[in-house]
Chains A and B, each alone.
Chain A
Amino acid sequence: MRHSKASLIAGYILLAIVTVLFIGPFLWLIRSSLMDLSQIFTMPPEWIPKPFHWDNFHRALTVLPFGTYFANTLIITVSVIIGTVLSSSVAAFGFARVEWCGRNFVFAILMSSLMLPTAVTLIPSFLGWRALGFYDTFYPLIVPAYFGGGIFNIFLLRQFYLTIPRDFDEAAFVDGASYFQIYRSIIFPLSRSAIIVVALFCFLAAWNDFMGPLIYLKSDSLFTLALGLQMFQGTYTAQWDLLMAASATVVLPCVAVFLLGQKYFLEGITLTGLKG
């Protein structure tokens, strides 16, 4: 579509406003994280730290064991990604590439669980894990990923698998390949980009999860970054410099992963939206 000059100018002005509104909070975060308290409280607000207080990061990250929180978050996130990619890709294979009686029925039942609010299963799941002695461990946060990895991911991968020509499977069968070999050496490698999409969304969900760790983790030494940051806020209420430094540290890995995998993120959302 071609635009008139006036509408182009209006478009740029509006986009500039949008940019300021969406990026502004990030700048405010970074600026506050590098100031000392007296400059932070100066009115009207200043934007450039004078001098740059890089030691805020050091102080914020040492008053609470953020190194431990970081390691915990990493362990949980990596375990969840592995489980999700393995189990959702296997299940999607069963729903997209194997013909069996009742397949669509079973798939529809699993899909219906998307409507179920997590609150409904929350309490019995908690009681179950506690009864098994796994309260205050990572297991409740990790193990479910190995059992299906979320119906939404299965759905996404299934849609992708359905676009791969059937002839590939047939040719492999003629050569004497088994279902598992077809999955491993044809379907899985061919769906690389869809699997990256699943892994990236899974990273964000696990890294950002707040309610799960809040409910299942009690010991300070097992806390994740999200929980740690919340704790920090409770303890250092008015220390906005340290609070912002700690927040920036939690935000940074997400931004880095997003910028690295940007192409896949945007593709992935588009895929989910169109199929809805």
Chain B
Amino acid sequence: MRKSLFHGLLFTSPAILGFLIFTLGPMIASLVLSFTDYSVFKEQTVFIGIDNYVRMFSGADDYFYPSLAATFYFVALRVPAVIVLSFLIALLLNMNIKGRAFFRTVVYLPSIVPAVASAMIWMWLLNPDLGLVNSILNTFGLPGSNWLYGENTVVPSVVLTSLWGIGGTVIIFLAGLSGIPRQYYEAIDVDGGGWLSKLRHITIPLVSPTIFFNAIMTIIGSIQVFNEAYILTQGGPNNKSLFYVFYLWRTGFRDAEMGYASALAWVLFIVILFFTFIVFRTSNSWVHYEGEGRS
């Protein structure tokens, strides 16, 4: 293989330029903005040091902590729900049964529905007075719920609507599961172990890298939830679903406080880095890579 720095840079230059113009540049600019009170409504922009960050953490901002709380609650509910449910569905789809391709399509299909349309469908399904879900509950003699309109139910309801789109995660699990050699299970059959011991001693350890990947992606995605808050709830009721990125958008684009919104964005970045770091640190103890002697 011959070397050519010129050609290497030539082919990658659009991507490198794109990175400099659309990622690195804006990143530095937003860090600088986060130390100012920049607003499109103000004539002069003043450098205010760390005041934006002080305003956030000191409690002077009435919405910062509620939005953090709403987001963490959402992440804490959604990540385990997505991982467990999609893993279970993948186990079902991995069984040696007829119609696998059909069931796989069924599970994946909702994940391609545009967020706005999916939101409309769920608003209608979860409508407290006329929605299908409450009317089914009533048929079974169960009380309905206010779902998206209740202070205590809004975040679980948003999680519920988002579970409709877990198809992508299921398919990734399925790929991990189908990579497990059949002989491993046969060994357990010989030892007389049942379904549960197969799951515990073979399936879960061997797909743990896939669980790890899905967990990271789901955490990063869930922290940045925006569409649902914008379309379904507008942050309400009583700021119970004021998810962080929605609050950031509102601060930057509706209230035009772009300096402060930039500071919010950097805090978000650090939160994401922190969570990713934690998951990576703990992964040594539970993620099993074949051929590395770790368990």
Contacts and interface: CB of A to CB of B under 8 A. Distances in A.
B84 interface: no
A226 B15 contact: no
B258 A127 contact: yes
Given A18-B92, A120-B265, A274-B175, A207 B114 contact: yes
B276 interface: yes
Given A119-B245, A265-B108, A113 B23 contact: yes
A119 B270 CA distance: 12
B243 to A, nearest CB: 11
Contacts of A52: none
Given A124-B26, A265-B108, A272-B172, A44 B19 contact: no
Contacts of A102: 5
A60 to B, nearest CB: 12
B268 A147 contact: no
Interface string A108-119: 011001011111
B14 A148 contact: yes
A1 B172 contact: no
Q: Please tell me the size bucket of the interface on A.
A: 35 or more
A123 B262 contact: yes
A109 B19 contact: yes
A144 interface: yes
Interface in B1-39: 1-5, 7-12, 14-19, 21-23, 25-27, 29-30, 33
A123 B261 contact: yes
B50 interface: no
A144 B11 contact: no
A148 B15 contact: yes
30 contacts: A25-B121, A32-B124, A44-B135, A93-B11, A94-B11, A98-B11, A100-B9, A101-B3, A116-B23, A117-B224, A117-B265, A120-B30, A120-B269, A121-B30, A123-B262, A123-B265, A124-B262, A127-B29, A127-B258, A147-B15, A147-B17, A166-B1, A173-B2, A226-B116, A229-B116, A240-B130, A247-B117, A251-B113, A269-B172, A273-B171
Interface of A: 1-3, 7-8, 11-12, 14-15, 18-19, 22-23, 25-26, 28-29, 32, 40-41, 43-45, 87-88, 90-91, 93-95, 98-103, 106, 109-110, 113, 115-128, 144, 146-149, 151, 154, 166, 169-170, 173, 179, 183, 204, 207-208, 210-211, 214-215, 225-227, 229-230, 233, 240, 243-244, 246-247, 250-251, 254-255, 258-259, 262, 265-266, 269-270, 272-274, 276
- Interchain residue pairs A-B with the least CB separation, the first 5: A147-B18, A94-B11, A100-B8, A273-B172, A148-B15
Interface of B: 1-5, 7-12, 14-19, 21-23, 25-27, 29-30, 33, 89, 92-93, 95-97, 103-110, 112-117, 120-125, 130, 132, 135, 139, 164, 168, 171-176, 179, 182, 185, 195, 210, 213-214, 217, 220, 223-224, 226-227, 230-231, 245, 248-249, 252-253, 258, 261-262, 264-266, 268-269, 272-273, 276
